[in-house]
Amino acid sequence: MGEHFETRCIHGSGEHSFEEQTHAVSFPLYQTATFGHLGLGRSSGFDYTREKNPTRQRLEEIMTELEHGVDTVAFASGMAAVSACFELFSPGDHIICAEDLYGGTNRLLHTISMKNGLQVDFVDTTSLEQIRERLTPATRAIYIETPSNPMMRVTDLRGCAAIAKEHGLLLIADNTFLSPYFQNPIALGADIVIHSGSKFISGHNDTIAGFLTSARQDLADRIRLIAKTTGGMLAPFDCWLAMRGLKTLPIRVERQQQNAREVARWLGAQPGIEQVFYTGLADHPGYALNLSQARGCGSMLSFRTDTVQTAHRILNGVRLITFAESLGGTESLITYPLTQTHPDVPEQMRLRLGITDRLLRLSVGLEHVDDIIADLGQALEG
């Protein structure tokens, strides 16, 4: 058991560190804050849910297998995971970050991490040369998203890993947009992989979660200590929801990708749509690179309209697609990065990246593709 990805999403490897005695087909929800001791100095292996819980442990083991790591820690949100990741560093440490990042990560770096003494340089990580130019004796890590949010830039994972290894740095990769089904950064040299588990992992827009998967045991041990100490762990019920979502991850993301390809092609042919950013289009500058390091292009795309009025008309006119933040769920969601996900990104950086009042981001869901396209069409027409 466990040779194929689809099987591991449902069963893991079949070998787990905690054997549930009832053999329930749906792994039980251990909704408890604490666990009784068997006697003085005798523990069942579970003492307090902040530290360890059977439901969370099973989820973490499955995620570790899917991302080819040595350990995974499940957090209460994607941002809790990112925050814990940056706790690995000390005041004065220098981090090279992709400039095109989820707005919450950018906000964390500007308002918390820099305040706490981290030095951060934001660069176009699609250029390995720009990364090399920003290296200093204090550099400790390279932090990337690929594809990036929201401009869908593709960063060379192998190239970044080579730079990191040469200079003794950590390579941290946010893999939220592609999920472990389409991309495995650790297999390409990353040290830590981040997921907002609220997105494709859980897949139903019904829970908030985050994950850090480590490639090395020393990193895993440090992250577990940080999680235990700061307490941002994923609650048992949310772990159960995420496990339930994982069981259908492969079939969901395959269909979403199929839908996204058709939607992207359709958008590119419409009056009023100036440019489509989707790594599955052959004219995307990162198309070939993405094919070389990922098994698919996913279902996230962004597009620029001809005018702000067109953008607003689409946002106000969609009926089937929901105008909302988030992504990766069964429902199609359309987002206005300027005001929803990236308002705290410094204006100069936003404009340089192209995050303007004409940019929309679309998470393509599982509705019939003809219905998604028809909804966009009627919204465009007004």
User: Mind giving me the DSSP string for 156-221?
Assistant: -HHHHHHHHHHHT-EEEEE-TTTHHHH--GGGGT-SEEEEETTTTTT-SS----EEEEESSHHHHH
Q: What is the mean pLDDT of residues 244-250?
A: 98
Report pLDDT for 271.
96
The active-site residue, picked from 71, 100, 156, 174, is 174
Chain-centre distance of CA 56, in angstroms? 19
pLDDT > 70 fraction of the chain, expressed in percent and rounded: 99
| Residue 1 in this model has a pLDDT that exceeds 60 | no
Band (pLDDT 50/70/90 cuts) for residue 353 is very high
User: Is 50 an annotated catalytic residue?
Assistant: yes
Q: What's the rounded Cα separation, in Å, for the pair 349 and 106?
A: 11
Q: What is the mean pLDDT of residues 191-219?
A: 98
State pLDDT tens for residues 145-200: 999 999 999 999 999 999 999 999 999 999 999 999 999 999 999 999 999 999 99
For tokens 């305040």, the residue is 115
Q: What's the rounded Cα separation, in Å, for the pair 186 and 184?
A: 6
State pLDDT tens for residues 45-81: 999 999 999 999 999 999 999 999 999 999 999 999 9
User: Is 319 an annotated catalytic residue?
Assistant: no
Report pLDDT for 274.
98
For 98, the enclosing helix (H) or strand (E) is: strand 94-98
Tokens of 109: 């770096």
Task: Give me the residues paired with residue 174 across strands.
Answer: 145, 194
Least-confidence region, from 24-28, 259-263, 355-359:
24-28
The active-site residue, picked from 8, 199, 224, 361, is 199
Report pLDDT for 227.
97
Closest CA to 358 of 313, 325, 320: 313
User: Is 174 an annotated catalytic residue?
Assistant: yes
The active-site residue, picked from 30, 102, 143, 278, is 102
Cβ atoms within 10 A of the Cβ of 7, count?
A: 14
User: Is 102 an annotated catalytic residue?
Assistant: yes
Q: What's the rounded Cα separation, in Å, for the pair 59 and 2?
A: 15
